[in-house]
Chain A
Amino acid sequence: MTASQETPKNAPPRPGLPPVAIVIGALFFIGLVGLMLYGVRRSGDAGRDVLPSALIGKPAPEFSLPVLHDPGVRFGSAELRGAPYVLNVWGSWCAACREEHPVLTRFAETRRVRVVGYNWKDEPEEALRWLERFGNPFFVVVADQEGRTALDWGVAGAPETFLVDGNGIVRWKHTGPLTDQVVRGQLLPELERAERAR
Chain B
Amino acid sequence: MSRPLRSLLLALALAAGAGVHAQPVDDPAPLQFHDAAEEARFQHLAGQLRCVMCQNQSLADSNAQIARDMRRQVLDLMREGRSDEEIRRFLVDRYGEFVLYRPQVGSHTWLLWFGPGLVLLGGAVAVWRIVRRRAANATGGPLADEELDP
Contact = CB atoms under 8 A, between A and B. Distances in A.
Given A121-B26, A155-B66, A156-B52, A51 B18 contact: no
Interface residues of A, number: 37
Interface stretch (B35-43, B79-87, B91-99): B91-99
Contacts of B73: 148, 151
Given A130-B19, A155-B66, A156-B66, A121 B53 contact: no
Contacts, number: 83
Contacts of B25: 121-123, 145
- For the complex of A and B, 8 pairs with smallest distance between CB atoms: A92-B19, A121-B24, A54-B96, A147-B69, A154-B94, A156-B52, A93-B22, A126-B19
Interface residues of B, number: 30
A129 B126 CA distance: 72
B29 interface: no
A48 interface: no
Interface of A: 1, 10-12, 21, 51-55, 91-95, 98, 120-123, 125-126, 129-130, 133, 145-148, 150-157
A51 B52 contact: yes
Contact of B10 (A54, A93, A123): A123
Given A123-B13, A126-B13, A155-B66, A51 B19 contact: no
Interface in B1-56: 9-10, 13, 18-26, 52-53
A122 B20 CA distance: 12
Contacts of A151: 69-70, 73, 94
Interface in B101-129: 126
B111 to A, nearest CB: 11
18 contacts: A54-B95, A91-B24, A92-B13, A93-B20, A93-B21, A94-B24, A123-B13, A123-B19, A125-B10, A125-B13, A126-B19, A126-B22, A129-B18, A130-B19, A133-B18, A146-B69, A155-B66, A156-B53
A1 B73 CA distance: 67
B18 A92 contact: yes
B95 A156 contact: yes
Interface of B: 9-10, 13, 18-26, 52-53, 65-66, 69-70, 73, 92-96, 98, 126, 136-137, 148-149
Nearest to A157: B53
A1 B139 CA distance: 12
Q: Is the interface of A mostly helix, strand, loop or mixed?
A: loop
Contacts of B66: 147, 155-157
Contacts of A146: 69
Nearest to B55: A49
A94 B149 CA distance: 70
Contact of A153 (B10, B26, B94): B94
A123 B18 contact: no
A145 B65 CA distance: 12
Given A121-B25, A150-B69, A156-B95, 6 more contacts: A92-B19, A93-B19, A121-B24, A121-B69, A151-B73, A154-B94
A10 B25 CA distance: 82
Nearest to A49: B55
A17 to B, nearest CB: 12
Contacts of B96: 51-54, 154
